[in-house]
Amino acid sequence: MKIKSAEFVMSNSDVAKCPKSMLPEYAFIGRSNVGKSSLINMLTSRKSLAKTSGRPGKTQLINHFLINKNWHLVDLPGYGYARVSKSSKKIFQKFITEYFGLRQQLVCGFVLIDIRHKPQPIDQEFMQLLGENGIPFSIIFTKADKLKPKAIDNYVNDYKTILLETWEEMPRYFITSSSKGIGKDDVLEYIDSLNNNLVL
């Protein structure tokens, strides 16, 4: 898939006010500072479609982008260690839960994991939540340029071992690097294949 157009649609914290169209949606979420905005900009070949920041917790709204006029890319707030007040965190954690529970347009969630760090309980808990609610998701490992290929293989194998303690199989996963463009075609081709298989 080639992305020919990518435009901002809306930001809000109320799931009920998300776009009413039934266009397929793909949601990107991960721990704060996992490189989500950089990944979105890399996938869409836009330098500043999603706002990047060195400060964790910058994204605190549901952000919809219309891609190629026929599907929505959704940028969700990071979970975990965002430097925001407890009351703010409660509010946007609530609408993250509501988003995944209520958006019938959602085709797949992408859970972003920083490949440099050991598996974090908060990521596993979030994936468990998605699994228990029957919400399809894939894993995107980010920042692969920071490790050598052998280290990447070892990391993914270790991650598989941990996940397979509670999962029947490893969810589909992608290895990416926003700075090197690694994994871009793989993720976009996967989204394209899902779009093509949708029963409208």
Q: Which residues of 171-197 are buried (b: 16+ CB within 10 A; e: fewer)?
A: eebbbbbbeeebbbeebbebbeebbee
Q: Say yes or no to pLDDT of 155 above 60.
A: yes
Say how far apart CA 168 and CA 96 lie, in whole Å. 26
List the domain boundaries for the chain: 6-195
Rounded to two decimals, the pTM is 0.90
pLDDT of residue 97: 84
Reported confidence tier of residue 53, pLDDT bands at 50, 70, 90: very low
Superfamily of domain 6-195: P-loop containing nucleotide triphosphate hydrolases (3.40.50.300)
Q: Say yes or no to pLDDT of 175 above 70.
A: yes
pLDDT digits (tens, 9 = 90+) for 76-88: 987 765 454 555 4
Say how far apart CA 137 and CA 134 lie, in whole Å. 9
Reported confidence tier of residue 55, pLDDT bands at 50, 70, 90: very low
Look-up of token digits 């965190």: 89
Give the neighbor-by-neighbor strand order of the sheet with 173-175: 6-12, 62-67, 71-75, 25-30, 106-114, 137-142, 173-175
Range name among 112-116, 120-124, 132-136, 176-180 with the lowest pLDDT average? 120-124
Q: Say yes or no to pLDDT of 58 above 70.
A: no
Reported confidence tier of residue 44, pLDDT bands at 50, 70, 90: very high
Say how far apart CA 81 and CA 33 lie, in whole Å. 9
CA distances from 3 to 48, 50, 80, 145, 152 (A): 15, 15, 31, 23, 28
pLDDT of residue 200: 56
Reported confidence tier of residue 51, pLDDT bands at 50, 70, 90: confident
pLDDT of residue 57: 47
Phi, psi (deg, nearest 5) at residue 19: -50, 140
Say how far apart CA 131 and CA 82 lie, in whole Å. 24
